[in-house]
Amino acid sequence: MAQSALTTFSTLQPSILGFATNISPEKIIILTNDQRLQNDQNPLTTSQKLNQAALAKASDMFANNYWAHTSPSGTEPWYFISQAGYEYKHAGENLARDFENSLEVVSAWMASSTHKKNVLDSRFNQIGVAVVNGSINGQETTLVVQMFGTETSGQTSVLGSAEFVTSAYANQTSPNDLTTLSSFTMSKVISLSFIILLLITLGLDWFFVWQKKLVRISGKSWAHTTFFVAILIVAIIIKQGVVL
């Protein structure tokens, strides 16, 4: 029910190109290792197999139109890792979408206890990241898939959340093939302008009703003003992006 309401609201908003401009796999890995070093953990080395697994996972999400660790058909992240030829002892996956830059992605993961656990897990020694543009449920977005692993032929275990692909069609992003316009920033400016205009209108309405001592059937202007001040504050503090 709540999800349906959100979908309905989403379809009412104007569609703007939604690719991120400043996210790169290299930067994600550097920032991840910065976090590990700050928390007395060994830095992770980049694994081409995990990079391939991450790209396959992102491609599968676009191909099958889902945003989850496990695909609608039940494929788990570990399948992509195995398909890439990576024999893992431990493995983990973090996902993110709709962020504007690499720092925001890593910061959001660090703000979430489950994702932070993966980032700082001492059992991992390798990492792979894919940043891919595409469309999920008609909404253009930039997906970030972060795969962690420890390679061995011994006993395997999976940590956190993770998944596979048959044909990778989505594009790996590069710094020069992205739009510089952020849909989030643009939408935020439009919403903020509208909210401020509404607040000015409510303020003027309140003033003239009080000055002319008008009597009318209407709601309370001060209450509406309080409501829209809260909406204004939230519009200012909200950040783009979601992690999974």
217 part of the interface to other proteins, by CB under 8 A: yes
Task: Provide the minimum distance between the beta carbon of 21 and other proteins in the complex, in angstroms, as a whole number.
Answer: 17
> Of the ranges 2-10, 32-40, 76-84, 129-137, which one interacts with other proteins (CB under 8 A)?
2-10
* Of 194 and 207, CB closest to other proteins: 194
181 part of the interface to other proteins, by CB under 8 A: no
Task: Provide the minimum distance between the beta carbon of 52 and other proteins in the complex, in angstroms, as a whole number.
Answer: 28
DSSP 75-116: --HHHHHHHTT--EEEEEEEEEES-SBHHHHHHHHHHSHHHH
- Rg, Å, the chain Cα set: 22
Helical axes 25-38 vs 113-120, angle rounded to 10°: 90
* Of 41 and 225, CB closest to other proteins: 225
> Of the ranges 46-54, 86-94, 184-192, 205-213, which one interacts with other proteins (CB under 8 A)?
184-192
DSSP 159-226: EEB----S---SEEP-TTSS-S--HHHHHHHHHHHHHHHHHHHHHHHHHHHHHTT---S---HHHHHH
Q: Interface residues with other proteins (CB under 8 A)?
A: 2, 5-6, 9-10, 12-13, 98, 107-108, 111-112, 184, 187-188, 190-191, 194-195, 198, 217-220, 223-224, 226-231, 233-235, 237-243
